[in-house]
Amino acid sequence: MRVHIDQEKCCGAGSCVLSAPEVFDQREEDGIVVLLDAAPPAELHDAVHEAAAICPAAAISVEQVERV
């Protein structure tokens, strides 16, 4: 899995941090999303998918990466 964020779109609602705090954080100065782990381990995939689904600003996208 590869996670992408769009800080321009982000509205700082913080729901991603509640869903997957290991993967997302908020910038100290303005609460905008910060990516902590762009390639999170499998056990966090559900939480990341949930974070992407509930993001109100569609600022999170998830790409499935084929394992080689």
Partner 1 sequence: MTTAERIDMERATGTAERPAALAVPAARADGCPFDPAPGVERARREDPVTRATLWDGSSCWLVTRHQDVREVLGDPRFSADATRPGFPFLTAGAREIVGSNPIFIRQDDPDHARLRRMLTADFMVKKVEALRPEVQRIADELLDRMTDGRTSADLVAEFALPLPSLVICLLLGVPYEDHEFFQERSRILLSLRSAAEEVRTASDELQDYLIRLAESKRQRPDDGIVSRLVARGELDSTDIASMGRLLLVAGHETTANMTALSTLTLLRNPEQLARLRNDPSLIKGAVEELLRYLTIVHNGLPRIATEDVTLGGATIRAGEGVLCTINTANRDEDVFPGGDTLDVGRDARRHVAFGFGVHQCLGQPLARVELQIALETLLRRLPELRLDIPFEDVPFRHDMGIYGVHALPIAW
Positions in 21-40 near partner 1 (CB under 8 A): 25-32
Interaction between residue 15 and partner 1 (CB under 8 A): yes
Q: Which of 11, 22, 36, 61 binds partner 1 (CB under 8 A)?
A: 11
What is the bridge-based pairing of β-strands 33-35 and 24-26? antiparallel
Least separation in angstroms between residue 63's CB and partner 1 is 20
- Show the tokens assigned to 36: 């902590």
Residue type for position 15: S
Residues 6 or more apart whose Cβ sits within 8 Å of residue 31: 12, 14
Binding site for partner 1 (CB under 8 A): 9, 11-15, 17-19, 25-32, 50, 53-54, 56-58
